[in-house]
Structure 1
């Protein structure tokens, strides 16, 4: 991990926010492809396009990889496939905002398990309240949540927690973005049975191909590159709490792209999760500044 600097946590928080916005709008665009390609077909196509672009751009030097690096990248790819496939299957059946709220249980639980300070636990509790209100809003709204969609969102939540661990490990043992590029290839291979029919369908329709390319860019290439960089600057527990921004960005994207309106209760919930995200990032920044001042300018920059 690179040496900690006072600006590191704030840059990490900005990277996570950019990832949340990109993922949310990528999911909203992807939902428009579901009638033609199905949720799993869109997932496979999106990851396949991302794999092709990343391999061409990054050109990972895999010949020099160790067995440990290969294992980290393969595990990273498996979590990508499971998380994305289950989540797209969820938003095919339930609105984007509630789906992200349910899926967020994964990183919330991970954050709770990794939290060591009372202050972080307080921000986590505020985020939990916000997520709970989002869930209540989804249950009492005009359209009840589809049980199968909720189940897929819960599966995605479990994979999301695994993804955070796998991504952090891959970023630690594999320099640059080579691990992410290979992970996309692994995820594409896992979903290949769904990807082949989807690729045949978009090949005959340029409009579908353009939407698939935008979905891949917003839903895979940009956000996962940003998250990999963020995990090199933030502890996993802080990263998990900062991801509480995603229900807010998903609700906004659902309103802008899909016309899914948010009621007052959902807006209050969004305020809770955004406040928790800002609070934890500011607290982390203050801690890093104090640590830098205590170490002094002559201390070893590589020291933890």
Structure 2
């Protein structure tokens, strides 16, 4: 994605790059944990839509992408708007799959399975043996997590299927994200993409819930919580990731991404009391090792393929 760095973060370097990354990861997964609590009120797909809609509102108010002019990321065209909408749709779809997964799986396990998508993309775009080893590691990790879910019966297996769907859409997010970055400024296109996709997906994702729970439309709390989930899970982590990526480069950024499964596991344990089993912990550690291997530079000192954040 494009490296747009907000000037409001100019003093953030005092906290240290790893600290900023952890703050972004904690915000992302605390937002996801809030989403889990919302499952008692709304289905996961509706909560995922609220996350995208909330993020769109915040980004539109901040970035005001309609002001784009030629030479400042490029004026808006049908092609650019369509690409942004596809990116927004892939992101919201990824969140739908992820929320359906964490409704059935522990948070840390679902996040670990998700990494199958980006690591597969990294391995496909590289000839390095390390990336192939990383792919094997993450496959073994996902296998260990899946084995731990057999005791959960059909619910656990369905959750794994949703997590794999989220992994596939994360891969699509990476491909479309590069196209969006090439077309203009990342944050502006993300704002427009989220807004367009939220409008298009409102009927299939939020519509059934709204029709059967008409009273919820007048309940300000669900809209505020949706805005909060969008802010915590999408806006804050994305902005911090942009700041970090500009300063550390792609290779070290990929290494920092190894903190995500660990952070998700800790948040799941503290907020949702989801303590991983031995098999789940082993699988998560294998995925963390895979991300570390993917981020290692090759012998000529060049970084590996970038794995953008979800």
TM-score, normalised by the number of residues in structure 1: 0.75
- Alignment match, 2:153: 144
Give the distance between the partners of 2:274 and 2:78, measured in 1 at CA: 46
Give the distance between the partners of 2:299 and 2:193, measured in 1 at CA: 31
Alpha-carbon deviation of 1:240? 7.3
Matched, 1:254 2:268: yes
Change (3 A) 1:43 1:224: same
Give the distance between the partners of 1:36 and 1:286, measured in 2 at CA: 53
Change (3 A) 1:252 1:57: same
- Alignment match, 1:78: 89
Could you give the per-residue CA deviations for residues 109-157 of structure 1, whole angstroms, max 9, x where no partner exists?
22221122223333443343333323323335xx335143333222222
For residue 36 of structure 1, the aligned residue among 27, 35, 41 is 41
Q: Which runs of 5+ in 2 are unaligned?
A: 4-15, 70-74, 304-310
What pairs up with 1:1-304 in 2 under 5 angstroms?
19-60=24-65, 61-62=67-68, 64-140=75-151, 143-144=152-153, 146=155, 147-193=157-203, 194-195=205-206, 197=210, 201=216, 203-204=218-219, 206=221, 208-227=222-241, 233-234=249-250, 243=257, 245-283=259-297, 287-288=301-302
Helix, strand or coil: the match of 1:42? helix
Helix, strand or coil: the match of 2:250? coil
Aligned length: 276
Change (3 A) 1:107 1:84: same
Could you give the per-residue CA deviations for residues 205-256 of structure 1, whole angstroms, max 9, x where no partner exists?
53x4443333112212123344566777538xx9778655433322222111
Give the distance between the partners of 1:23 and 1:85, measured in 2 at CA: 15
Change (3 A) 1:242 1:15: same
Give the distance between the partners of 2:118 and 2:214, measured in 1 at CA: 32
Alpha-carbon deviation of 1:87? 1.6
Cα RMSD for the two superposed structures: 3.4
Give the distance between the partners of 1:161 and 1:84, measured in 2 at CA: 13
TM-score, normalised by the number of residues in structure 2: 0.74
Change (3 A) 1:45 1:154: same
Give the distance between the partners of 1:12 and 1:67, measured in 2 at CA: 38
Q: Which runs of 5+ in 1 are unaligned?
A: 3-10, 290-304
Which stretch of the first structure deviates more once superposed, 216-225 or 161-170? 216-225
Helix, strand or coil: the match of 1:259? coil
Alpha-carbon deviation of 1:47? 1.2
Could you give the per-residue CA deviations for residues 180-222 of structure 1, whole angstroms, max 9, x where no partner exists?
111110221133124462896264253x444333311221212
Which stretch of the first structure deviates more once superposed, 219-228 or 21-30? 219-228
